[in-house]
A and B are shown apart, each in its own frame.
Chain A
């Protein structure tokens, strides 16, 4: 929050959003400062047990708890994507506590044209809501300008990601994640500038030769303040060079086609572009194809599956992934977090990461 206040001459309307299916460009076009919230907080997650039973993934509970905690003001305006039962139930709790939530339903059946149409209608509804709520017409030209800005940011992030293909990546994944969250807090123009400065610095700054073990991170999210896993990887001599995360990372692979630009066209692309998230129908095979492609492209030596407690559908995906990775000879490690940060949990996690990377080092030496 401190950054927002420093960077704004006048206080702006602030809204929280929680994922890539929220049409953030519409919020920008409405002159709203949109803050992306995907943060780990054990106390916030704990505080939600007043309303919900514990069998809800800790990220959903963290986000809900943070919103209710007042960190972003009392009852901040929220735009929340509903991509599974956890997010739906969390939204209900927030509404019950009189937090103004605009929910964006994301149909899981992305292969069906009716689902695409449903999502388009959701985006129309968000636009209508914004225009009524903020008494500001969102004209297509302004929206187009904001979408261009997204393309600029995504383009820069892609170039940054290309640097990770090098034998000695120019930066650690933890640094990359921190950059992302810093960007998420800023106005889009500033975020674009920050990414470009980061790119320039890293292009110029060659790292010493360490040849870390190259890893891919797969799972729901690398949330803000959830650095233990990333630190463990880096301390053990690994580098996460690519990822397949459904939340918490700027979806830079989405590049909007601006020809024949319209709200429908924009919504369609927002729904259909980018890697398929776990929640979508028939996603496991499609995601595995994506993971395999990334593994080849980034010369990945092992995959880390990062799962949150009580995230059953991710757990189901892991069962499939484990089978397919085994068939294809891809080394895979599953780690799980409850966000509680208990010493036993973190120590066990660090030990497992360390031995996984050790095994991969031995494998590399044998080749």
Chain B
């Protein structure tokens, strides 16, 4: 096998239609991230077949969506395109709307969440073991580190516009302020909640409005409300498609697809893709149909327990697979619950402000616990899994209180299994296997386990 064969095989496995066109970009991208050929071999021969239902066309399409988005970052070097980057969670509708407005004015535009996509592809899909965005003394969020790495090491081109959101995290905008000095020509827009308590709508609306106006001024464009409404509808459709899949899995009580795949599906609402959201919705619709057929014809492993989960660590497929082995399905990602699904307010900045404030995980622990409990009861789930953001100064801080409150309100088991969503250096599969065996064994005796 010559050097490029394994890359070709990788693309072929994901049903990439024009392999020869994509191949040079994939090879270049792998070289930039120092992905070794043996890593690609392991990915093709072991990692993908072990952790993903590669027999399902829809799953291959889902993986292709992420991988082509990632390869697309490499293509940006050659495209004369306005690059809009933003960190998550932000307001994807607003970002897609800016891109749409620029496109309507004749600009080629790409709206990207490069740090998130890169983390997922490198560690979740390719299964790279080496950590490239080095961490220093403190427990920094690895996705923030990745954002810095991508720019400072010039792995991807610098953005023309960077929107920096501090809706949960107060570390992310700080990281982007450091990047601002390396991206002198870019328009930087900072959107940070002035307070984690109380009503910030008017403040956020003002800031969002300013950011939009600055973009309009720089490119001489006008962002029309109609365009925003269209993007909002697209996101609504996407959210509904995702929900259909989750509800189907909830009903089927079988692992038609795995926990990792569910995590990747839920992430579609968080990340940005260069593919139109309607096309992504269509991919999900076809996947759901395929899942239904597959469930009817196959002897899928039984999902003995169905848990809500904060966010399945999609950068570590072993996590989800250990859960599966023990019959635990991770459905209903609470990190993506939002009250801002349909258009609210009179104009886009107002709706964007609602979107920024609507995320459940941005609210206080009482509100979060109440809503999660409602989800557990409504969907007759067996419990909740927390702990993947133990390091995080916002998301991880109150997980013990969240555990106590949800247990009190639902009477269901809340498992806090500490791990790092982004960085699996300290993760031990053996340790988790043992912990899950204990949980299942205790559940088997009709008890709730710690």
Contact = CB atoms under 8 A, between A and B. Distances in A.
A51 B138 contact: no
Contacts of B390: 53, 55
Contacts of B401: 51-52, 92-93, 96
Contact of B396 (A49, A55, A107): A55
A319 B331 CA distance: 40
Contacts of A284: 177-178
Contact of B393 (A51, A85, A336): A85
Given A310-B139, A311-B138, A52 B171 contact: no
B197 A105 contact: yes
Interface in B187-215: 190, 192, 194-198, 203, 206-207
B398 A315 contact: no
A196 interface: no
A320 B174 CA distance: 12
Nearest to A317: B174
A61 to B, nearest CB: 10
B365 interface: yes
A82 B200 CA distance: 14
A148 interface: no
Given A92-B364, A281-B190, A313-B174, A107 B393 contact: no
B397 A85 contact: yes
Given A107-B194, A108-B192, A313 B397 contact: no
B391 A55 contact: yes
A279 interface: yes
Contacts of A85: 169-170, 196, 393-394, 397
B136 A109 contact: no
B36 interface: no
A313 B175 CA distance: 9
B182 interface: no
Nearest to B191: A109
By CB atoms of chain A within 10 A, which of B137, B140, B175 has the most?
Answer: B137
Contacts of A115: 194, 203
Given A55-B396, A108-B170, A279-B170, A88 B197 contact: yes
B393 A310 contact: yes
Interface in A296-321: 309-313, 315-316, 319-320
A73 to B, nearest CB: 24
B413 to A, nearest CB: 19
Nearest to A90: B397
A116 B117 CA distance: 36
Nearest to B181: A285
Contacts of B137: 315, 336
Interface string A84-106: 11101101110010000001010
Contacts of A312: 138-141, 171, 393
Contacts of B178: 284, 316, 320
Contacts of A84: 170, 393
A162 B171 CA distance: 36
A34 B399 CA distance: 32
B338 to A, nearest CB: 20
Interface in B3-39: none
A253 interface: no
B407 interface: no
A296 B124 CA distance: 51
Given A89-B398, A105-B197, A281-B190, A319 B136 contact: yes
A105 B193 CA distance: 10
Contacts of B224: none
Contact of A56 (B194, B196, B366, B397): B397
Given A92-B365, A96-B366, A313-B170, A52 B190 contact: no
Interface in B337-379: 364-366
B398 to A, nearest CB: 6
A50 interface: yes
A292 interface: no
A279 to B, nearest CB: 7
B203 A108 contact: no
B166 interface: yes
A105 B199 CA distance: 11
B397 A103 contact: no
Interface in A251-304: 279, 281-282, 284
Contacts of A310: 138-139, 393
A313 B172 CA distance: 9
A310 B393 CA distance: 8
A310 B140 CA distance: 9
B194 A55 contact: no
By CB atoms of chain A within 10 A, which of B174, B195, B396, B418 has the most?
Answer: B174
Interface in A51-87: 51-53, 55-56, 82, 84-86
Contacts of A86: 393, 397
20 contacts: A51-B400, A51-B401, A52-B398, A53-B418, A55-B139, A82-B197, A86-B397, A92-B365, A107-B203, A108-B192, A109-B192, A118-B195, A279-B170, A281-B173, A282-B177, A284-B177, A312-B141, A316-B140, A320-B178, A336-B137
Given A86-B397, A88-B197, A92-B398, 19 more contacts: A50-B400, A53-B390, A53-B396, A55-B397, A82-B195, A85-B169, A85-B170, A85-B393, A91-B197, A96-B365, A96-B401, A105-B194, A115-B203, A118-B195, A281-B177, A284-B178, A312-B139, A315-B136, A320-B178
Closest 6 CB pairs of A and B: A105-B195, A107-B194, A315-B138, A89-B397, A85-B393, A88-B196
